[in-house]
């Protein structure tokens, strides 16, 4: 099991928990069920609400959007215009749909949800939209204050949209910039060394890794991490020297990150797992693997390791 564990999980070390704009993504595409079930219970109402907002926008249902706000809600748009009251907000979206028939809301990407009290919660994130069906994608930050009403439904009491910002593919990878460099993990009789660097075009992170045991080099491999614009998630493709390959998707939950991966070993066995990443400090990453299944074999319990940033090579000063 240790060998298979290394074959499958070593390439996944590339990802970490850090502040990021776009990873708790709710979009009108099929969601990964492993990611959904991993959302903390207290955050699920807000994920569901975000999806309902997108669905209502797609169907041009201004009334449904209005019902997501409290009666005395306040909405301030990206231009600073203020609209007060559910009826006025509903009318505003009626006007939007009539005057911008091709406008689309691509995704609401929840960055974090913080419960201020049992009845009040603050949500922060990003909205991506297009003015026309084939127009450029625009991004704007938002902050929403929700209140839990007597019918048990969380509704928006205050919503603030910020001005649009330009966004490019490689901006999604900025969260991983700290990862560039050399890392090492020592466990038992094995040592895993990884190196990460930017691709020349800046749209990918490229990783290479080696696994060494007491008997010498066990295996090596490569990984490419990039942004999948269709699923609106970070995605990775990994290949090892034994002949196995894997792909993975990431999503944020609170202060941690989940990566769900699946692939095939060199022997043709299906393999899948879920990993949780969190930063212990700027030099250490805690990596916990759960739900690892290789063929019909299941790893009985979660397994955690610590990845440490490797010290730079000593500088040699020439003497005269």
141-181 pLDDT, tens per residue? 899 999 999 999 999 999 999 988 655 556 677 777 777 88
Q: What's 146's domain CATH number?
A: 3.10.450.50
Tell me, yes or no, whether 319 lies in a domain. no
Strand extents, DSSP E, 131-189: 138-148, 154-165, 181-187
Domain boundary among 168, 185, 216: 168
The alpha-helical segments, DSSP class H, found in the chain are 2-9, 33-37, 44-58, 62-66, 86-99
Confidence of residue 217 (pLDDT cuts 50, 70, 90): low
- The answer to whether residues 112 and 174 belong to one domain is no
In a domain, 148, yes or no: yes
68 C-beta neighbours (distance < 10 Å), count:
21
Residues 100, 204, single domain; the answer is no
Is residue 160 located within the same domain as residue 188?
no
> In terms of domains, do 159 and 177 share one?
no
Does residue 12 have a pLDDT over 50? no
Which strands make up the sheet holding 104-115, listed edge to edge? Answer: 24-26, 104-115, 120-130, 138-148, 154-165, 69-76, 82-84
Which of 151, 168, 185 is a domain's end point? 168
Length of the chain counted residue by residue: 320
| Domain count within the chain | 2
Taking a C-beta distance cutoff of 8 angstroms, is the pair 305, 284 a contact? no
Distance CA 105, CA 1 (A): 45
pLDDT band for position 20 (cuts 50, 70, 90) = very low
Beta bridge partners of 272: 262, 293
Same domain, 67 and 95: yes
pLDDT band at residue 11 under the 50/70/90 scheme:
very low
| Residues ≥6 apart with Cβ < 8 Å to 281 | none
CA–CA dist 71, 276 (Å, integer): 40
In a shared domain, residues 84 and 159: yes
Residues 108 and 190 placed together within one structural domain of the fold: no
In the block, residue with structure tokens 């007491």: 214
In a domain, 203, yes or no: yes
Decide if 10 is inside a domain: yes
Shared-domain flag, residues 302 and 192: yes
Domain presence at residue 320: no
Question: Do 52 and 135 reside in the same domain of the chain?
Answer: yes
In this structure, what CATH number is given to the domain that contains residue 203? 2.40.128.20
pLDDT band at 36; cut points 50, 70, 90? very low
16: pLDDT strictly greater than 80:
no
What is the pLDDT confidence band of residue 38, given thresholds at 50, 70 and 90?
Answer: low
For the beta carbon of residue 159, count every other beta carbon within 10 angstroms: 20
Shared domain for 152 and 263, answered yes or no, is no
- List the end-to-end C-alpha distance of the chain, in Å, as a whole number: 55
- 114 within a domain of the structure (yes/no): yes
For residue 74, report the phi and psi dihedrals to the nearest 5 degrees.
-125, 130
Q: What is the mean pLDDT of the chain?
A: 79
Cα–Cα distances in Å, from 261 out to 12, 18, 147, 236, 267? 8, 20, 36, 9, 18
Q: Is residue 243 part of a domain?
A: yes
Q: What range does the domain containing 98 cover?
A: 24-168
Confidence band of 52 (pLDDT split at 50, 70, 90): very high
Asked if residues 181 and 200 have their Cβ atoms less than 8 Å apart, the reply is no
In a domain, 72, yes or no: yes
Q: Highest-confidence range of 62-66, 135-139, 177-181, 295-299, by mean pLDDT? A: 62-66
Q: Do 159 and 220 fall into the same domain?
A: no
Residue ending a domain, choose from 168, 192, 227: 168
- Rounded percentage of the chain residues whose pLDDT exceeds 90: 30
Per-residue pLDDT tens for 231-245?
A: 767 888 889 888 888
- Quick one: 118 and 219 in the same domain? no
Least confident of 143-147, 214-218, 233-237, 253-257: 253-257
**For residues 255 and 257, what is the distance between their CA atoms, to the nearest angstrom?**
7
């Amino acid at each position: 099991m240790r060998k298979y564990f290394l074959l499958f999980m070593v390439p996944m070390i590339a990802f970490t928990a850090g502040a990021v704009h776009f990873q708790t993504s709710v979009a009108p595409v099929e969601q990964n069920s492993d990611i959904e079930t991993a959302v903390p219970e207290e955050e699920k109402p807000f994920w569901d609400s975000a999806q309902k907002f997108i669905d209502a926008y797609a169907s041009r249902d201004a009334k449904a959007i209005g019902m997501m706000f409290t009666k005395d809600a306040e909405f301030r748009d990206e231009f600073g215009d203020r609209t007060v009251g559910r009826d006025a907000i509903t009318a505003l979206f009626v006007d939007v749909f009539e005057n911008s028939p091709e406008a689309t809301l691509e995704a609401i990407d929840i960055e974090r949800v913080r419960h201020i009290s049992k009845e009040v919660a603050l949500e922060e994130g990003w909205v991506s939209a297009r003015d026309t069906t084939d127009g450029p994608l625009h991004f704007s930050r938002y902050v929403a204050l929700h209140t839990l009403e007597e019918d048990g439904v969380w509704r928006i009491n205050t919503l603030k949209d910020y001005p649009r910002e330009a966004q490019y593919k490689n901006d999604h990878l900025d969260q991983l910039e700290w990862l560039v460099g050399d890392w090492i993990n020592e466990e038992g009789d094995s040592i895993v060394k990884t190196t990460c660097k930017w691709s020349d075009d800046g749209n990918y992170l490229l990783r290479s890794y080696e696994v060494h045991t007491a008997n010498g080099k066990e295996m090596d491999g490569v990984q490419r991490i990039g942004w999948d614009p269709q699923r609106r998630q970070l995605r990775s493709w990994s290949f090892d020297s034994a002949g196995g390959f894997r792909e993975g998707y990431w999503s944020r939950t609170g202060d941690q990150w989940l990566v769900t991966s699946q692939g095939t070993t060199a022997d043709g066995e299906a393999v899948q797992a879920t990993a949780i990443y969190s930063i212990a400090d700027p030099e250490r990453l805690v990596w916990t693997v759960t739900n690892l299944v290789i063929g019909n074999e299941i790893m009985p319990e979660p397994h955690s390791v610590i990845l440490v940033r490797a010290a730079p090579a000593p500088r040699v000063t020439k003497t005269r």
